[in-house]
């Protein structure tokens, strides 16, 4: 039985707080289907045996383009890569290739297993870059909400320890958006019901309590209308990692909440898109 804290529940249960999220998702789904029908893409590339272990790769046509790898949100228990194809549009127009990663969800898998799948997917992109016609030397990892958490865990990853054929500097930049970097507060919310976090996972999967594995440039992003707890999460990561990383910045996208931030990401004239574009290595 979860002892729910009303303050934490209101700060983290963002679907309930926002309302109308189904309409937003339907709009994103339609825009994504349209985008997939129009661009050069390799869809549903399998990096594992589970039906969710799939990647969509979108090519800009630019030579030696950076690769923007995106991990979707949904509190590790909802969402699908197909909803987010639409965010690729401004990147492709700017000469950036995009990969959107799907992954198994909790409680089908534990969060530890989910993270292993993410690491597997990124390694797969590196090893299959030639066949996909993408640049494995310019992999930039980004993600929103739970995806932001997974990005930060990627920064803490010993890549050669996962696969001796992977370089330690596999990732050239990391860009988490409105991520979760300390898991303990979630234990007192309804979100934790599907996660089944163990005591050790709460510590071992909280990036703010860990040390980055490389000197990677890190750009944290958050919507200006996000909740106080989400601001606290971002500030905690920046404060914890500023001593470890030579280049770490925080960007606040004014006037948007947790969901509207994704629409800004998909807009070529937004500040957040321009910041990300300038951050890609």
Tens of pLDDT along 180-213?
999 999 999 999 999 999 999 999 999 999 999 9
pLDDT at 17: 82
Chain segment 72-86, per-residue pLDDT in tens: 999 999 999 999 999
Phi first, then psi: give them for residue 101, nearest 5 degrees.
Answer: -100, 130
Burial of 51 (0-12, 13-18, 19+ CB in 10 A): exposed
pLDDT at residue 18, rounded to an integer: 85
What is the model's pLDDT at position 2? 87
Contacts of 6 by beta carbon, 8 Å cutoff, 6+ apart: none
Q: What is the pLDDT of residue 268?
A: 98
* Token code pair at residue 176: 């988490």
The pair of three-digit structure tokens given for residue 25, joined into one six-digit string: 């998702």
CA nearest to 191, candidates 83, 75, 24: 75
Q: pLDDT band at residue 16, thresholds of 50, 70 and 90?
A: confident
- Is CATH 3.40.50.300 what the domain over 6-279 is classified as, yes or no? no
**Residue 178: closest CA among 266, 99, 71:** 71
* Confidence bin at 246 (pLDDT 50/70/90): very high
Q: What is the pLDDT of residue 231?
A: 98
- The pLDDT value recorded for residue 240 is 98
pLDDT of residue 71: 98
Average pLDDT over residues 262-273: 98
* Per-residue model confidence (pLDDT) at position 1: 74
What confidence tier does 14 reach under pLDDT thresholds 50, 70, 90?
very high
pLDDT at 233: 98
Cα angle value 103/275/75 (rounded, 5°): 25
pLDDT, tens digit, 9 for 90 and up, residues 110-166: 999 999 999 999 999 999 999 999 999 999 999 999 999 999 999 999 999 999 999
Q: What is the pLDDT of residue 277?
A: 98
Q: Note the pLDDT of residue 19.
A: 84
Q: What is the pLDDT of residue 195?
A: 98
Q: 31: alpha, beta or left, given left = phi > 0 and alpha = psi -120 to 50?
A: alpha
Are the C-beta atoms of 188 and 244 separated by less than 8 Å?
no
pLDDT of residue 176: 98
Instruction: Tell me the three state secondary structure of residue 195.
Output: coil
Asked if pLDDT for residue 108 goes beyond 90, the answer is yes
- Based on the number of CB atoms within 10 Å of its own CB, is 164 exposed (0-12), middle (13-18) or buried (19 or more)? exposed
**Residue ranges of domains in the chain:** 6-279
């Amino acid at each position: 039985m979860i002892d729910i804290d009303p303050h934490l529940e209101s700060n983290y249960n963002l679907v309930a707080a926002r309302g109308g999220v189904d309409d937003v998702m339907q709009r994103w789904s339609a825009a994504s289907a349209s985008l997939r029908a129009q661009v050069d893409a390799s869809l549903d590339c399998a990096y594992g045996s589970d039906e969710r272990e799939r990647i969509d790769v979108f090519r800009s046509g630019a030579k030696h383009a950076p690769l923007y790898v995106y991990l979707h949100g949904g509190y590790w228990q909802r969402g699908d890569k197909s909803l987010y194809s639409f965010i690729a549009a401004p990147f492709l127009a700017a000469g950036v290739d995009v990969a959107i990663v799907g992954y198994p969800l909790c409680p089908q898998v534990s969060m530890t297993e989910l993270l292993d799948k993410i690491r597997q997917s990124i390694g797969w992109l590196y090893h299959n870059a030639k066949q996909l016609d993408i640049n494995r030397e310019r992999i930039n990892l980004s993600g929103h909400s739970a995806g932001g958490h997974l990005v930060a865990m990627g920064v803490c990853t010993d890549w050669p320890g996962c696969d001796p054929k992977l370089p330690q500097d596999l990732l050239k930049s990391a860009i988490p958006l409105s991520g979760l970097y300390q898991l303990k507060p979630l234990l007192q919310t309804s979100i934790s019901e599907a996660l089944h976090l163990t005591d050790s996972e709460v510590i071992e999967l909280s990036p703010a309590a860990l040390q980055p594995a490389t000197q990677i440039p890190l750009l944290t992003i958050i919507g200006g209308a996000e909740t106080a707890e989400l601001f606290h999460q971002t500030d905690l990561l920046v404060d914890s990692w500023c001593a470890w990383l030579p280049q770490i910045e925080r960007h606040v996208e004014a006037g948007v909440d947790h969901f509207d931030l994704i629409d800004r990401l998909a807009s070529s004239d937004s500040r957040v898109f321009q910041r990300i574009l300038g951050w890609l290595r």
